Amino acid sequence: MTPRERVLRLFRGLKPDAVPWFGDLDYWATALICRGQRPPDFKAGDSYIQWHRELGVGFYLQGYFPFRTIIENCGVKEWRTGRDRFREIETPRGTLRECWRWLPDSYAEAPAERLVKSAADLAAYSYLHQYTRYEPDYEIAERRRRQVGETGIVVGYLPKSPFMQMVALDAGIQTVTELCTDMPDALEETLAVVRESHDRASAVAVASPVEVLMIPENLSSEVVGRRYYEKYMRNFHETWVRNIHKAEKYSCLHLDGTLKGLLREVCSAGFTFIEAMTPAPVGDLEIEEWAEWSGNSRTILWGGLPGVFFTDLVADLAFDLFVKKVLAVMRSAPRYVLGVADQVPPDGLESRIRRVGSLVQEFGVYGAGTA
């Protein structure tokens, strides 16, 4: 079977011939481009998909929002100074500013200044979302559908839930926790405005040509546990999972941190699969414990291979033994996708990607008696 056939059979509740193997190579590719080892447009072209075929790994699109975000009735300025990328948004209720800093050693950005710094910014933040609109931007999805073929699936993003938009991007967990404690009513009023905005964006995403829709929460249970999830996030997830499934598409959530305090909750929200799950020794649950901690849900569990295992920090023999251990669990029942948790890092080894494909062929075939 092809990678696409395998994973779609799993989504439909059927058993493929072997455990599907998919990897997010986006971060690794970014580093290769920055080092001049791939052309600047590498990730957009046919050669990117061919690269996945040559490496023997299934493709699933990362980082694509099928809508354009347009801010109205505000003054928006963007500029760069050295490694810093600034954005300033002037509203009738105040001015917001953020700065993201490029870290050349890790080929990634990190927040140096958040858009929301205190309760004083909430009025402007609400105004910003009230006057944000979204237009369809489906060209990438249509092109990817033509490019990908049997190599994989096309994934698009909804926005984050309003709570995680603030936690992961716009305010940070410290500021959000302070707001939850000191000004819960003001925070909830703000989140309601952001929710209305994100619902509009989500409707545009669900109408897109993509076949799988992800809510890219970047969740980790030591940051967002059961209490925050139930109070601020579950309703958004359940609403949009229902809408995604009504559109006859598949849904997923990005959970790439610790699992114990959140896995059962997110599995009960109805997602087709939970993606980028990281096992011990990097995460907090052994692969053998995933099924128990996910409850009675039929949600597919996707991940299993921590990114560091694709570097020379892990010996070849240790790598092989770990992959075999993961495959022994995953071939026991057709509810797993073998994936990178969460991305192959900039110092990833091509040989490791190729090796996984070989190990799947040898050790990833479902045993007799599995459903």
Least confident of 75-84, 161-170, 216-225, 348-357: 216-225
Any residues with CB less than 8 A from the CB of 304 and at least 6 apart, and which?
A: 277, 279, 287, 326, 330, 336, 338, 339, 341
Average pLDDT over residues 269-278: 97
CA 299/CA 297 separation, integer angstroms: 5
Q: At what angle do helices 46-55 and 139-148 cross, to 10 degrees?
A: 40
Confidence grade of residue 297 (pLDDT, cut at 50, 70, 90): confident
Confidence grade of residue 61 (pLDDT, cut at 50, 70, 90): confident
Q: Position 263: which residue type?
A: L
Residue 371 has pLDDT above 70, yes or no: no
CB 127 within 8 A of CB 74: yes
Q: Which domains occur in the chain, in start order?
A: 3-67+136-363 (3.20.20.210), 73-130 (no CATH)
From its phi and psi, is residue 230 left (phi > 0), alpha (psi between -120 and 50) or beta?
alpha
Convert the pLDDT of each residue in 254-266 to its tens digit.
Answer: 999 999 989 999 9
Residue 141 has pLDDT above 60, yes or no: yes
Helices (H), 114-273: 122-130, 139-148, 162-164, 173-182, 184-206, 226-228, 234-246, 263-267
The DSSP call for residue 168 is I
336 token code pair: 């797993």
Residue 1 has pLDDT above 70, yes or no: yes
- The CA distances from residue 39 to 35, 49, 349, in Å, are 10, 14, 19
Average pLDDT over residues 116-125: 98
Confidence grade of residue 83 (pLDDT, cut at 50, 70, 90): very high
pLDDT of amino acid 145: 93
pLDDT of amino acid 203: 98
Confidence grade of residue 370 (pLDDT, cut at 50, 70, 90): very low
Confidence grade of residue 296 (pLDDT, cut at 50, 70, 90): confident
Beta strands 152-153 and 59-60, pairing class = parallel
Confidence grade of residue 223 (pLDDT, cut at 50, 70, 90): very high
pLDDT of amino acid 369: 39
Mean pLDDT of the residues in the chain: 96
CB 232 within 8 A of CB 161: yes
Residue 368 has pLDDT above 80, yes or no: no
The DSSP call for residue 365 is B
* Sign of the dihedral through C-alpha 308, 354, 253, 134: positive
Residue 143 has pLDDT above 70, yes or no: yes
Residue 320 has pLDDT above 50, yes or no: yes
